[in-house]
Chains A and B, each alone.
Chain A
Amino acid sequence: MRIRNPGLKAGLAAVFVTGLVLVLVPLVALLFGKVNAPTADPQSLWASFSEPHLRALLIGSIALALGVAVGAVFLGVPIGLLLASSRGRAVRVFALLHLLPLCLPPYLAALGWAGLAGRAGSLGSMLGENAGTWMSGILYSKAGFVLVMTIALTPVVSLLTWAFARSIDASAIEAARLGRPPGSVLIQIVLPLCLPGIALGGLLVFVLTLGEVAVPQLLRVPVYASTVFSRLADLSFLPFEALARAWPLVFVAVAVAAACYLVERRGHSALGLRDAGATDWLQGTQRVGAAALLVVVATLGTLPIGSLVGRGIFEVGGGVTGMAGALDSMGNSLLYATVGATCMLLIAVPAGYLWSRRPRAGYVVSLPLLVGLTLPAVVLGLGLVIAWNRPATQWIYQGIGIVLLGLMARYLYPVVRTAKLGFDRLPGTWLDAARIHQGSLWRRLVRVILPASLPIVATAWTLGFLLVLRDMDTTIIFYPPGGECLPVRALTLEANAPPGLTAATAGVQVLVTAAALLLLSGSARLQRRFR
């Protein structure tokens, strides 16, 4: 429905300007800052296509990211539907275990896998040398990379599927079931209703995999993002070359986002008066299959974390020392995640609503934010340093401000888009009624739109919280001295600290995030309270 509201254009313009300030200003600063006088060879803009090895690397990296995204969707959708429709204790336990990989940056999970499935890993020791050699061969390969990343990121898809399935009007499903078999209802009704969430989950997994550098370095898998990273790492300071190599990644992400938009349009908007509650979306063999998937994926996801936490607890000294040093970092992590997620939500609620009302314009104005999500963290991070480290902006650069700016530049897009998808589900009749009775946009947002979309809005906040809490590669570039967060501490300690110390730090991270996941489960209660 097209709203004729004079403030709408101004609001959309504000979203666009926010994106420009957060993302494009750092890029311009990186390119034209006084730090260096980099040689800008325009031909390097096309190097990704003209140089055979770069072209092959780009295609290979896209294929790997697609593989991970498809795997995550294949596993995450049935699990998400199962979580949305079950209240059993066993399912809840496995749900928590399944979501645990969201606690850690994939790099730490990969380290956990290396401790398990390496040649001298725990599993290798148990199963014999040949098995260890075989597992090591798998782990340190493209297949291993896809496996590690898929298990680490599947919870993103299941979380979003769960949130969308929970917000479906049960009446629609019950009506459909009167005349159709369960399989048909699932494919023709339930999945289309969840499609926006599934598409967003797939997009997020794709983009996060495409930009990942640390895991492929560890598993010795050559990826395209490493070539961008190498232009701004150690002795290299080549901003133009880095951006010249980064833009194909952005282009690919925008293309995938456009594809997701087409998929999303095939979904239905169907928020109704009745909460779906624990409606059984899956029946019979579907349910058994999804439960089996949940058990397998949760077990695989928990194994590397268990390996890390186990080392932290059992290796003498590691746990205790790690805890002492990790407390400050834990405080920083929680501070960044809480304030970051809240700030993002404050922008995401109006921005998501405007995007929902003007979808095409919304996609355009949100492009800078998509660029921020897609750009390798090193490009964005160094740009932020150059852009904001000025005498006039020291009040931002010397404290938490720069961290918030960086995290918003990186993660605002998925939070806004999740909120937008929530608002998409509001029936037009509600909005018309609200416009007549509640007056201004702000009053409508606060009194009608927000309460009606609370589960998805809560999911948006939680998604932002989790993304920030596990962030490592963005924050590490500009965190204020003494202000390191837990994942950064785990990473900096990883160089030569006793494995137990790194593991204990990772263990604290797991505990903190597990508490956050309990917050998420509380969103269902909020839903019931407000609707």
Chain B
Amino acid sequence: MTARNLPAWLTVCALTLFVAGCEKKSLEVVIYTSVDQVFSEPVLKDFERETDIQVRMVFDTEETKSTGLLNRLLAESENPRADVFWSNDPVRSQVLVRRDLVVPYVPSTAADIPAAFKDAQGRWVGFSARARVILVNLKRVGAGPRPAGVEDLLDPRWRGQAAIANPAFGTTTMHLAALFDAWGDAKARKFLTGLRKNQVRVASSNGEVKRLVSTGEVAWGLTDTDDAAVAIQAGAPVEVIYPDTDGMGTLLMPTTAVLIRGGPHMAAGRKLLDYLASRETERKLAHAPCAQLPLRKEIPVPSHVRTADTFKVMKVDYSRIAAVMERLHPMLRDWAEGKPIETDNKDTQ
């Protein structure tokens, strides 16, 4: 090789690699999922093995580190690339439903999923849930009293010692939307203002809340059961508390799956949806490190996994929560950016 033919070499090299990188055709399905890769990938690989359908996956990151798959789905909506969206909460699927970006399909395996966790018209189906829990660092809290509910975030005793994830992202948005729905705007806005006053730390994600609690940076924080389960398995000195079991109940968040309208592989997408909504997937995810809560009562779970019938579940209507969430989101975003929020609004409930 000499300098004289260097550009030619470079061109040949680029073209060769370009051709090598071009897409291979086969029977396949494209799934976008915001369920953590470490938990969702084994399930999808199992589907691949059992059906010979190649699954091409796009995973999401923790909330604040990329724009999120929801926006990619919206950006691609004119010409969808995904066949299935498997969301780690019920409300982001609702956003797609509200924008008419999904095709109704009732999975053949979903008959025994309780009616509260699936759409009557088949536009979404829920399974394998997580709950919003309090994660406590036992070393920081010691033998003293433990927090018991979300309103303990405002307790001066915990000033500067508690954490939540950025409420403009992820399941924290949904949790706040549920609180706004349950409490009404006035009380919920006061709650948000109180969080600032009590110097509650706002972490970048629920995973970061887990990290802050596990390492003792804060005494406790609100996070999801999968984050809490991972912290416990890692040997962190932590304890999980299901909040508000004496009051409004703990928020339960099933993962949900939808079939994308205009997806390129609809038939394979339906098969994948059948697989995801099956009892077997719920069983696998209950036994996985994420320790997800099965929605079907009779699915056997390991001793460390609680089922929804063992604690008081907050009563919510997920489609209503989605609407509240879309309404609240600009305000939550402003709050997260440090803007003050009005607290004297009329109660909208």
Interface residues of A (CB under 8 A from B): 33-36, 53, 57, 107, 114, 118-121, 136, 140, 213-214, 217-218, 220, 222, 226-227, 229-230, 232-237, 325, 335, 338-339, 342-343, 345-346, 349, 378, 381-382, 385-386, 389-391, 394, 397-401, 404, 445-447, 450-451, 454, 473, 476-482, 484, 489, 491-499, 501, 530
Contacts and interface: CB of A to CB of B under 8 A. Distances in A.
A375 to B, nearest CB: 13
A366 B36 CA distance: 40
Is chain A's binding surface mostly helix, strand, loop or mixed?
helix
Which interface class (under 10, 10 to 19, 20 to 34, 35 or more) fits B? 35 or more
Contacts, number: 212
Interface stretch (B105-113, B187-195, B214-222, B311-319): B214-222
Nearest to A388: B79
Given A382-B71, A382-B72, A530-B2, 13 more contacts: A53-B339, A229-B64, A234-B70, A234-B173, A389-B79, A391-B79, A404-B18, A445-B7, A450-B3, A478-B72, A480-B23, A484-B58, A498-B38
A36 B36 contact: no
Contacts of B170: 234
Contacts of A378: 66-67
B216 A120 contact: yes
A232 B38 contact: no
B185 interface: no
B23 A107 contact: no
Nearest to B2: A530
B267 interface: no
A479 B58 contact: yes
Contacts of A236: 71, 168, 329-330, 333
A496 B4 CA distance: 51
Q: Which 9 A-B pairs have the closest CB atoms?
A: A481-B56, A400-B21, A451-B3, A120-B215, A482-B56, A217-B204, A497-B38, A492-B59, A385-B75
B27 interface: no
Contacts of B57: 481-482
A243 to B, nearest CB: 14
A30 to B, nearest CB: 8
A140 B71 CA distance: 30
A222 to B, nearest CB: 7
B183 to A, nearest CB: 20
A422 to B, nearest CB: 13
Interface stretch (B9-17, B250-258, B295-303): B9-17
Contacts of A118: 215, 217
B230 interface: yes
A479 B76 CA distance: 13
Given A491-B61, A494-B62, A232 B67 contact: yes
Given A235-B326, A386-B75, A399-B21, A217 B201 contact: no
B37 A495 contact: yes
B7 A491 contact: no
A121 B217 CA distance: 11
A431 to B, nearest CB: 16
B72 A477 contact: yes
A47 to B, nearest CB: 12
B337 interface: yes
Contacts of B244: none
A342 B37 contact: no
B55 to A, nearest CB: 8
Interface in B195-211: 201-205, 207-208, 211
B22 A399 contact: yes
A450 B41 CA distance: 47
A136 B214 CA distance: 14
A208 to B, nearest CB: 16
A501 B333 CA distance: 32
A504 to B, nearest CB: 13
B75 A496 contact: no
A446 B4 contact: yes
B75 A119 contact: no
Q: Which of B67, B68, B76, B290 has the most CB of A within 10 A?
A: B67
B22 A349 contact: no
A450 B47 CA distance: 52
A499 B207 CA distance: 12
B36 A481 contact: no
5 contacts: A232-B67, A399-B22, A482-B58, A495-B37, A496-B207
Contacts of A342: 10, 13-14, 17
A530 B75 CA distance: 48
B242 interface: no
